[in-house]
Amino acid sequence: MEPRELRPGVYSVGAVDWDRRIFDSLIPLPEGTSYNSYLVRGSEKTALLDTVDPAMTEVLLDRLRGVDRIDYVVIHHVEQDHSGSLPVMLARFPEARVLCSARAVDLLATHLHISGDVVKAVGDGEELSLGGKTLRFVYTPWAHWPETMSTFLVEDKVLFSCDMFGSHLATSDLYGAEEEVYPAAKRYFAEIMMPFRPMLKKNLDKVEPLGAQLVAPSHGPVCGRPQFIIDAYRDWVEGPPHNLVLIPFVTMHGSTALLVDRLTGALIERGVKVERVDLQGVDLGKLATALVDAATVVAATPTVMTNPHPLVVSALYLANALKPKVRFLSAMVTYGWATSAMERIADLTAGLKAELIEPVIIKGRPTAEDLLKVDALAEAIAAKHREAGL
Ligand code: FEO
């Protein structure tokens, strides 16, 4: 495929990975992804911004087949989905020098064994003229690794934001429709960016005043109205959680499901929105996405060898690691003869720093009296949400 022009002299030359279904052996990709690479041609010099995943190196080489010379390869982020083709690019364009953040120098040596004179660190805010095209390097750490930076193309007001503002979305569209990009970008934020919210706030404060007219991330479509994706990030990063309860659950013989059904109805009756995630066979991206907005998480689990069901353990481990805005936590536990599941749940979620609401712990199949305890839990949650102004 030929390069696609974003602005005069600015081209998209990356690869769409339509068929990839898992990233990092961890993150499901129901809609594939892309590894975006951009070519910027000045009157004097040419720069390639990011490369692609090693599996797609041939695609990048093909899209660059008419390019005689590349003077600079800008590596925004050393994770291999963007840097993995760098060794091949340097072999194809031996005159090229690698430009990266100061922290990326060591990571390039560590992960790609690229070091020495070929690599040059650029400073935060440093500018480089390609001749009528000025690259301004903007450090945007922890979006997604500590070395990550972005590039602002001054004359054309294009922000190349790497992982930040990206989405795992394979599409033939160079520009994404906002209604299509929003859910994919939110899912991406949940899976990749959410643990770094304090640093992202600083990065938003830094890039928003640039007044970009295009945001060109390294995954997913280009955003033609940057304020759309900046506003979405502002909400996900610093907005209050919603009047929403997330119930991740597993049921083995139906008892836990009875509790989940009762809680769902009781919360809805009290004006609280509910998102249920049956963890059996679920795409964990769905759980991560729900965590972006949820004010409360109620884990519902049977007891397996005195512990929560392993799927619940896994889900809570993930929730704890993603550091969402969750303010309240509770659980509904069923057991046959003995349980220490609640203690394990408390351990697993300690990092959330959420206020614990009295859990419901039920022996055997729930009775009518047990279900009243679930109603009381719903009432306690609704009251907490009201007090918090949600
Ligand atoms: Fe798309 Fe953190 O790499």
Establish whether residue 20 lines the binding site of ligand 1, counting it when its CB lies within 6 angstroms of any ligand atom: no
Specify whether the CB–CB gap between 309 and 324 falls below 8 A. no
The full set of domain ranges for the chain reads 4-238, 244-385
**Span 314-319, average pLDDT:** 96
Q: Residues 251, 255, 261, CA angle at the centre, nearest 5°?
A: 85
Q: What is the whole-number distance in angstroms between the Cα of residue 369 and the centre of ligand 1?
A: 50
CATH 3.60.15.10 is the classification of domain 4-238: yes
Q: What is the whole-number distance in angstroms between the Cα of residue 27 and the centre of ligand 1?
A: 12
Q: Residues 371, 375, 377, CA angle at the centre, nearest 5°?
A: 110
The DSSP code for 101 is -
Question: How does pLDDT run across 106-118, given as a tens digit for each residue?
Answer: 999 999 999 999 9
- The SS3 call for residue 251 is coil
**Span 101-108, average pLDDT:** 98
| Cβ count near 154 (within 10 Å) | 14
Establish whether residue 41 lines the binding site of ligand 1, counting it when its CB lies within 6 angstroms of any ligand atom: no
Whether 23 has a pLDDT exceeding 90, the answer reads no
Question: How does pLDDT run across 132-181, given as a tens digit for each residue?
Answer: 999 999 999 999 999 999 999 999 999 999 999 999 999 999 999 999 99
Specify whether the CB–CB gap between 331 and 342 falls below 8 A. yes
For 298, residues 6+ apart whose C-beta sits below 8 A from its C-beta are: 245, 246, 247, 263, 329, 330, 331, 332, 377, 381
**Span 346-368, average pLDDT:** 97
DSSP 130-175: SSS-EEEEEE-TTSSSTT-EEEEETTTTEEEEETTT------S-SB
- CA dist., res. 337 & res. 335, Å (int): 6
- CA dist., res. 30 & res. 324, Å (int): 22
Whether 362 has a pLDDT exceeding 90, the answer reads yes
- CA dist., res. 283 & res. 100, Å (int): 35
- Looking at residue 344, its pLDDT comes to 97
Question: How does pLDDT run across 371-390, given as a tens digit for each residue?
Answer: 999 999 999 999 999 999 99
Whether 1 has a pLDDT exceeding 90, the answer reads no
Q: How confident is the model at residue 27 (pLDDT cuts 50, 70, 90)?
A: confident
Establish whether residue 144 lines the binding site of ligand 1, counting it when its CB lies within 6 angstroms of any ligand atom: yes
- The SS3 call for residue 122 is coil
Establish whether residue 79 lines the binding site of ligand 1, counting it when its CB lies within 6 angstroms of any ligand atom: yes
Shortest-distance Cα residue to atom 3 of ligand 1: 79
Question: How does pLDDT run across 203-233, given as a tens digit for each residue?
Answer: 999 999 999 999 999 999 999 999 999 999 9
- The SS3 call for residue 51 is coil
Establish whether residue 82 lines the binding site of ligand 1, counting it when its CB lies within 6 angstroms of any ligand atom: yes
- The SS3 call for residue 15 is strand
Mean pLDDT of the chain: 97
User: Letter for the amino acid at 204?
Assistant: L
Q: What is the whole-number distance in angstroms between the Cα of residue 163 and the centre of ligand 1?
A: 5
**Span 299-306, average pLDDT:** 98
Q: What is the whole-number distance in angstroms between the Cα of residue 45 and the centre of ligand 1?
A: 27
Q: What is the whole-number distance in angstroms between the Cα of residue 377 and the centre of ligand 1?
A: 40
Establish whether residue 81 lines the binding site of ligand 1, counting it when its CB lies within 6 angstroms of any ligand atom: yes
φ/ψ of residue 124, rounded to 5:
-65, 120
pTM of the model: 0.95
User: Letter for the amino acid at 245?
Assistant: V
Whether 199 has a pLDDT exceeding 90, the answer reads yes
Question: How does pLDDT run across 229-281, given as a tens digit for each residue?
Answer: 999 999 999 999 999 999 999 999 999 999 999 999 999 999 999 999 999 98
Q: How confident is the model at residue 284 (pLDDT cuts 50, 70, 90)?
A: confident
* CA 144 to ligand 1: nearest atom: 2
Residues across the chain: 390
Q: Residues 10, 218, 228, CA angle at the centre, nearest 5°?
A: 90
* Percent of the chain residues topping a pLDDT of 70: 100
- Looking at residue 26, its pLDDT comes to 83
**Span 278-286, average pLDDT:** 91
> Which residue matches tokens 């600083």?
202
Structure tokens at 258: 């009875």
Helices 284-291 and 310-322: crossing angle in degrees, nearest 10, is: 40
Torsion of CA 49, 52, 54, 55, to 10 degrees: -160
- The SS3 call for residue 123 is coil
Helices and strands in the chain: count of H runs, count of E runs:
12, 23
Q: What is the whole-number distance in angstroms between the Cα of residue 143 and the centre of ligand 1?
A: 8
* CA 163 to ligand 1: nearest atom: 1
- CA dist., res. 231 & res. 39, Å (int): 28
Relative to beta strand 10-12, strand 4-7 is: antiparallel
Superfamily of domain 244-385: Flavodoxin domain (3.40.50.360)
Establish whether residue 163 lines the binding site of ligand 1, counting it when its CB lies within 6 angstroms of any ligand atom: yes
> Which residue matches tokens 């925004």?
76
